Chains A and B, each alone.
Chain A
Amino acid sequence: MNPIFFPLAIALSAAVSGLAAPALAAAGHGYEFGSPGKPASATRSIAVNLADNYYEPDAISVKQGETVRFVLKNSGEFLHEFSIDTLAAHTEHRREMAEMMEMDMLTPTGIDPEKMNMDHSKMDMGDMSHTKEAKGMPMRHDDPNTVMLAPGESRELVWKFSRAMEIEFACNMPGHYESGMLGRIDFAK
């Protein structure tokens, strides 16, 4: 497995198995347009329904500096993602997801934890991956801007929009974004 998948793989398995620790921005990966927000700072909530394969609503308006709590529900029968990012970053993320799908780590309906674990053990984690600590390790993943929802699952994402930029919320499961599972984020003046 390509090491570049590692953070994403952890993020996915953590998200779907419900093990995710509160999203913490790992060192070295920031977002020009914002950062994970503190739930207490959220000034409003936006409910987003993740269906097969589209969002409702599929456009939102935010203010620069605002912290928003996204209340997400996957009402569909497939695995979906809610990821806030630039168009270029989404494109790169999609490429990784497609390769994970090819390796069967990811299926249309979920993550294969066995394949994930198997692949972890092949990686440069040495003995760590076999220890209890490794499995229960806080998944301090690199993608605090992304939430993965299994069919039927509900989750939240709190995000602080600090800078107006061209960004979208998107599902990068293979084929989903391409066929229109994305939403516009407008910055209100």
Chain B
Amino acid sequence: MRKFRFLLTTLFTLITGSGAFAGTYDLTVDEMRAGYDRGERLTMAINGQIPGPTLRFREGEEVTINVTNKMDTDTSIHWHGILLPYTQDGVPGISFPGIKPGETFTYNFKIKQAGTYWYHSHSGLQEQEGMYGPIIITPASREPYKYDRDYVVMLSDWTDEKPEAILDHLKKNSDYYNYAQRTVGTFFKDVSEKGLGATLKDRADWGKMRMTPTDISDVSGYTFLVNGKSAAQNWTGLFKPGERVRLRLINGSAMSYFDVRIPGLKMTVVQADGNNVQPVPVDELRIAVAETYDVIVQPKEEKPFTIFAESLDRTGYARGTLAPKAGMSGEIPALRPRPQLTMADMGMDMGGMDHGAAPGAATAPAMNHGAMAGMDHGAMPGMDQPDSQSGIAPKAAKPGGKVLVYGDLKAMKPYAEYRAPDREIEMKLTGNMQRYFWSIDGVKFSDAEPIRLKYGERVRFTFVNQTMMSHPMHLHGMWMQLDTGKKKFNPLKHVVNVPPGQTLSVDVPADAMGEWAFHCHLMYHMATGMMRKVIVEGPVAANMEMGHE
């Protein structure tokens, strides 16, 4: 099936006659010493660099990627957001067995899309070690926007600890990294501000949910990076005043969301998860783990502008600079206070929800979400404007500033095959924070049956987040059409962020046969069970051809 005659030694070769392009790329995974600001540790990297090299493909290209494992443990590379045959998707145990020590696995697939994507290891916790890199796909036809410069801005979270140690700490004590827990001191402060009754009730409500309001993110102590550089190292992109600069924001973090802004510049969002959207100028945007946003900015003054990406938990920031020449630094804003979940985030003050059916109770995920706030599909809080009652909804730092919300995302081109879904699958996003495992419908991956879809059907996935953390849900191999009420203009996403206590729906066109991973892209959530296998099955004959049944 694969055209091995396309395997050429040159990196990028035009196959004359057919008009098709073919390129060969070589990636080597090895251990490496790396570190930021506080010494080095042994880690894992692709081609000896963090992030790995930027892979530049062209729409229509037949790519061949040789991945060589020089480590003494299995590895893999997954092409995040790329539409391809499932055997090339790079998920050990689902798409293929993984890449053994000393082996080379050759991936082959045809590029059927364009835009900004990324790749990363899908083995254990390797991605957190530094095994991630950007993918840029040049479209076959011209883009619906114009720019003079083009930079990748890949955000990530570096840890001085081994990822396995982090998971161990979390399992022993889920609040290990929650430095901002409320204390006796904050209790008395709350009493003086809200009164004793309200404070006691608030504390009791949180207690019943087995969570604390500062549980918006579970791992801290990270060093945040822009293109592999710490804030002190200051990654810099050059511009001439008046030029339009395209920034390809990729959140390659294991666990960290970022609120991104460039004080003094509007960012015009032109792409989300690799797909063109009708351009929307914003002052700030929140990027969930594994999402991508392409923005165009136009710095007109001859001065440096700070790309400021605060982690959602406000333990730090990633920072880079757009500057007219190297070595310049703009002002660095102060970190804003850490967002605190409110009862409104959990739908608690909207009445009707049974506190006994606590989010986080893996064994009793029977929350009556029908009575929760704003559960009407298409009219969800935060979809069209930030929810003012929410403690966690993004808010612009600039007074009166515009922050991107999902309702702003409209596909540039209407989706031709748009139709009402054939059926709906509801999934409760669940977890037990205290025992630190995360799940779907209270069942962790190792105990779960696959989700089976029929080829050609259109299935609505409705996510009901019963936990107090945001979950970036990622489907491999197929788009999720996020229901923002824009119908055929609903944006295509490979990751959708489901905020705490909220519900949102995506329509999945089951247009890719095979076995696919579907999971929360927070690494330690996936690792502890917030994952499913999705099987897209065809008619019997097609299944046999694929080697199934």
Contacts and interface: CB of A to CB of B under 8 A. Distances in A.
Given A108-B278, A108-B410, A179 B266 contact: no
B279 A176 contact: yes
Nearest to B402: A98
Contact of A179 (B142, B270, B414): B270
Interface string A163-189: 000000000001110111100000000
A58 interface: yes
Contacts of B145: 53-54, 179-181
A52 interface: yes
A167 to B, nearest CB: 15
Q: Which of A52, A58, A178 has the most CB of B within 10 A?
A: A178
Contacts of A161: none
Contacts of A159: none
Contact of B144 (A54, A58, A178): A54
Nearest to B267: A178
A180 B296 CA distance: 9
A69 to B, nearest CB: 25
A82 interface: no
Contacts of B144: 51-54, 179
A180 B280 contact: no
B147 interface: yes
Interface in B462-505: none
Interface string A136-164: 00000000000000000000000000000
B281 A180 contact: no
Interface residues of B, number: 19
B268 interface: yes
B244 A175 contact: no
B298 A54 contact: no
B146 interface: yes
Contacts of A98: 281
A90 to B, nearest CB: 12
A78 B278 contact: yes
Interface string A70-82: 0000000110000
Interface residue tally on A, bucketed by range: 10 to 19
Does more than half of chain A's interface fall in helix, strand or loop, or is it mixed? loop
Contact of B268 (A52, A58, A175): A175
Contacts of A181: 145-146
A176 B266 CA distance: 13
B146 A175 contact: no
Q: Which of B244, B266, B270, B279 has the most CB of A within 10 A?
A: B279
A41 B298 CA distance: 37
Contacts of A178: 266, 268, 279, 281, 296, 298
Interface in B123-163: 142, 144-147
A175 B412 contact: no
Contacts of B413: 77
Contacts of A174: 279-281
Does more than half of chain B's interface fall in helix, strand or loop, or is it mixed? loop
Contacts of A175: 268, 270, 278-281
Nearest to A52: B144
A178 B278 CA distance: 12
A52 B278 CA distance: 9
B410 A179 contact: no
A180 B144 CA distance: 8
Interface in B403-418: 410, 412-414
Q: Which of A52, A53, A78, A98 has the most CB of B within 10 A?
A: A53
A54 B146 contact: yes
A51 B146 CA distance: 12
A179 B412 contact: no
A77 to B, nearest CB: 8
B296 A52 contact: no
A78 B413 CA distance: 10
Interface in B260-290: 266, 268, 270, 278-281
B305 to A, nearest CB: 15
B97 to A, nearest CB: 44
A91 B279 CA distance: 16
A58 B281 contact: no
Contacts of B146: 54, 58, 179-181
Nearest to A174: B281
A176 B296 CA distance: 11
Contacts of B280: 174-175
Nearest to A58: B146
B48 to A, nearest CB: 36
Contacts of B296: 178-180
A165 to B, nearest CB: 16
Nearest to B147: A180
A14 B172 CA distance: 69
Contacts of B410: 108
B442 to A, nearest CB: 42
Nearest to A53: B144
Nearest to A180: B146
A172 B538 CA distance: 48
Contacts of B281: 98, 174-175, 178
B131 to A, nearest CB: 33
Contacts of B414: 77
A30 to B, nearest CB: 26
Contacts of A54: 142, 144-146
Contacts of A78: 278
A135 B296 CA distance: 41
Contacts of B412: 52
A52 B147 CA distance: 15
B287 to A, nearest CB: 19
Contact of B279 (A51, A58, A179): A179
A53 B278 CA distance: 9
A104 B244 CA distance: 29
A54 B296 CA distance: 14
Interface of A: 51-54, 58, 77-78, 98, 108, 174-176, 178-181
22 contacts: A51-B144, A52-B412, A53-B144, A53-B145, A53-B279, A54-B145, A58-B146, A77-B414, A108-B278, A174-B279, A175-B278, A175-B280, A176-B279, A178-B268, A178-B279, A178-B281, A178-B298, A179-B144, A179-B146, A179-B244, A180-B146, A180-B244
9 tightest A-B CB contacts, nearest first: A180-B146, A175-B279, A178-B268, A179-B145, A179-B279, A180-B145, A179-B268, A179-B296, A179-B270
Given A176-B279, A179-B296, A180-B244, 10 more contacts: A52-B144, A52-B412, A54-B142, A54-B144, A54-B145, A174-B279, A178-B268, A179-B268, A180-B145, A180-B146
